[in-house]
Structure 1
Amino acid sequence: MPDKATHRELAAAIERDNAREDAGMHGDDRVTCWTHQTWARDCADDPIHTHPSAHHRLRPHPSDGTRA
């Protein structure tokens, strides 16, 4: 089980990725997964990423609640 420091590192990385994506970074360049709230490498093979469908939820855009 991950320790608290590991959880803090992940939380900080998610926040950095969110801010960078809001500033224009492409979502594919994230090191974290917004959908699963984990490291991107840990869920890269998940079917939601390998076989996206209409059920995939994108991260809301901060300006209007949608994702461009």
Structure 2
Amino acid sequence: MTKKLAAAIQRDNELENAGMHSDDRKTCWSHQSWAVDCENDPFHTQPSVHHYPRPA
């Protein structure tokens, strides 16, 4: 990881904590990379729904 990427991840984390929507991140918290580098990853395009409650 480069210093530039590490700084950008930190900045995005701080902005998100301050109220920025996670879709506006330039970095990927999950993959610790630039968002454009992993936007087509199945983790993002087909997220797991196992943690959602089942309807009654």
5+ unaligned residues in a row in structure 2: which ranges? 51-56
More contact order relative to length (CA 8 Å, sep ≥ 6): 2
TM-score for the superposition, normalised by structure 2: 0.84
Identity of aligned residues (%): 64
2: CA distance, partners of 1:54 / 1:36: 19
4+ residue runs over 6 A deviation: none
Unpaired runs of 5+ in structure 1?
Answer: 1-5, 56-68
State which structure, 1 or 2, has the greater radius of gyration over its C-alpha atoms: 2
RMSD: 1.4
Structure 1 length as normaliser, TM-score? 0.69
